[in-house]
Amino acid sequence: MQFGIFSVSDVSKNPVSGETPSEAERIQAITQIARRADEVGLDVFAIGEHHNPPFFSSSPTTLLAHIAALTERIVLSTSVTLITTNDPVKIAEDYAMLQHLAKGRVDLMLGRGNTGPVYPWFGQDIREGLPLALEHYNLLHRLWREDVVDWEGTYRSALQGFTAIPRPLDDVPPFVWHGAIRTPEIAEQAAYYGNGYFANNILAPNFHFRPLVNLYRERFAHYGHGTPEQAVVGLGGQAFIARRSQDAVAQFRPYFEGSPIYGTSYSLEDFMRGTPLSVGSPDQVIEKTLGFQEGFGDYQRQLWVVDAMGLPLEMALEQVELLGTEVVPVLRREMEARRSPEAAEAPTHSSLVRAKYGEAEPRQPTPSPNRGDNLTGASPYQDTDPELAAQYPELV
């Protein structure tokens, strides 16, 4: 079981002080938050992808590469990589490079996002969002597993004799989570490939996403990847913790009520009761999270948002500290004690390497030489099957 934090990268007004941080301040703050998460023993730090204010994370790979250089053990992920508006070729290359720089401490979550205008900004049609997501990942899956790809689809130009570089570290692609809260087709795609399924368990009533999680589990088994219990599930959540429950509610209230998303539509007490929002003492957050295990079954990854709605850096760092020292150690023990022996472990780079190679040394692709124009027609790597020689487009 992995526990960690994720950020949507919002740059929000602090409703208590009335101040809004600059983008520069938030970028530096999120770096400190990620480092603290690593120091206190959390397993995962994840960041979203946005291309409009009031967010800052337009380039998750750049940010995560910087954080990788400042941390030791924490897995670095995205809480969404836009599979619809990003070119899957660029995703393949950027995240493989990040995987090398982070020495395998990388995975990613693919999703369609929630910002409609991003589609035309990147030359796509939002009405094609679902088929875009499905086709783009089908190509990404091949780019990470085949040295030479010939491909033709609907939403990007065809590929002929294409090799995505660098190849994934140890020739094992980063683990992929498919994030969706309303789309059975995405759960189906995750199950088909044996990938993970992530339900962002925040903006909905308690256990609202259980039908999609169950569908994914059933289809995971249907495609022969294991039993439904062995399917790889992740949940998102949101938490605010203080040592005394009344202090947690009092401290969090102005941020909740000052949020344009929450405070104008809900009361804090109703939202705490009716949704997965966890506000309270460490024991209360532990109890609520254990309820997720009861409602969704054994799962592999739990992430919380702890830095949104204008919380100052010092408060966000305190949340990370409390998660790492008071909440997660207990959850690890309790969830492990309740866990079915059949449940899958959370995938890591090392576990994926073992699954592919056993005790053998992993592949380290070494490029073949070329004439200097990169159009040799030869197999791209010294150990590539010669029958996979790249046939490049003719230059006329």
Please give the Cα distance from 71 to 43 (Å, whole number).
12
Please give the Cα distance from 337 to 362 (Å, whole number).
34
Q: Are 77 and 37 in contact, with CB atoms under 8 Å apart?
A: no
Q: Is the peptide bond before 166 cis (omega within 30 degrees of 0)?
A: yes
Pairing state between β 75-78 and 233-241: unpaired
Per-residue pLDDT at 279 = 98
Per-residue pLDDT at 390 = 76
Please give the Cα distance from 8 to 31 (Å, whole number).
14
Tell me which residue of 64, 7, 70, 63 sits closest to 39, measured CA to CA: 70
Please give the Cα distance from 273 to 268 (Å, whole number).
9
Please give the Cα distance from 267 to 102 (Å, whole number).
42
Which residues, in sequence order, are bridge partners of residue 198?
179, 234
Per-residue pLDDT at 370 = 72
* pLDDT in 10s for each residue of the chain, 396 residues: 999 999 999 999 999 999 999 999 999 999 999 999 999 999 999 999 999 999 999 999 999 999 999 999 999 999 999 999 999 999 999 999 999 999 999 999 999 987 889 999 999 999 999 999 999 999 999 999 999 999 999 999 999 989 999 999 999 999 999 999 889 999 999 999 999 999 988 878 999 999 999 999 999 999 999 999 999 999 999 999 999 999 999 999 999 999 988 888 889 999 999 999 999 999 999 999 999 999 999 999 999 999 999 999 999 999 999 999 999 999 999 999 999 999 999 999 999 999 999 999 999 999 988 755 665 567 889 998 887 777 777 766
Q: What is the pLDDT of residues 243-291, one digit of tens each?
A: 999 999 999 999 999 998 888 888 999 999 999 999 999 999 999 999 9
Please give the Cα distance from 210 to 343 (Å, whole number).
17
- Helix/strand/coil for 25: helix
Per-residue pLDDT at 374 = 60
The amino acid at residue 91 is I
Per-residue pLDDT at 223 = 98
Query: 155-158 contacts: CB < 8 A, separation 24 or more?
Result: 155/124, 155/128, 155/131, 156/87, 156/88, 156/89
| Domains delineated in the chain | 2-365 (3.20.20.30)
CA dist list (Å): 47 to 153, 273, 349: 30, 27, 19
Per-residue pLDDT at 265 = 85
Please give the Cα distance from 111 to 50 (Å, whole number).
12
Please give the Cα distance from 103 to 365 (Å, whole number).
16
Tell me which residue of 233, 225, 210, 216 sits closest to 301, measured CA to CA: 233
Tell me which residue of 228, 278, 232, 274 sits closest to 252, measured CA to CA: 278
The number of angstroms, rounded, from the C-alpha of 219 to the middle of its chain's C-alpha atoms is 21
Q: What element of type H or E holds 162?
A: strand 159-162
Token pair, residue 380, equals 């791209």
Please give the Cα distance from 162 to 170 (Å, whole number).
20
